Amino acid sequence: VVYVLIGVAVVIAVVSVFIAARANRLALESRREYQRIVHADSDVVDALLDRISAIDASTKTVEQLAQLVQVTRDDLAHSLRHVAVVRYDAFRDISGRSSFSIALLDDSGDGVIMTSLHGRSETQFIAKGITDGGSDSLSPEEAQAVEYALKGNDK
């Protein structure tokens, strides 16, 4: 889950760097073009037409990047990026909070809750599906893990 978030963050960072580099390059080209127009005996109409072509190309690039960002956001909404862990003592004779429930949810509250109950002689592992932030039968600790994961969505 963490690797997915890191991957998405890297993609967004790369796209942002690309946009910034493109904007910087266009600014430099505009300055050069301005200097050429002001200090040379060039045809102003040709210079303006070249500038319009460059702006059109930049507009298309920005539109393509906006589409890529939207696709990335849509993919991210379906990833299990809301995570919470609740540790607790499942049995009275066992201390140390060795039992846990972990909730892994997407943006719509769908996902899974996994619970591990540790006793003296055995360990039980239980997985339950979560839909819209709930399930038919959740223990109080599982419900707390789901609640914590969903609250993390409101930051």
- List strands edge to edge, sheet with 111-118: 82-88, 99-105, 111-118, 123-130
Query: Which pLDDT band holds residue 154 (cuts at 50, 70, 90)?
Result: very low
∠ CA(45), CA(51), CA(57), 5° rounding?
Answer: 140
Cα distance between residue 106 and residue 108, in whole Å: 6
pLDDT digits (tens, 9 = 90+) for 28-44: 888 887 777 666 655 67
∠ CA(90), CA(92), CA(94), 5° rounding?
Answer: 75
DSSP 119: -
Domain ranges of the chain: 2-77, 82-154
Query: Which pLDDT band holds residue 20 (cuts at 50, 70, 90)?
Result: confident
Q: What's the average model confidence in pLDDT over 135-153? A: 88
pLDDT digits (tens, 9 = 90+) for 97-125: 889 999 999 988 999 999 999 988 888 99
Q: How many residues does the chain have?
A: 155
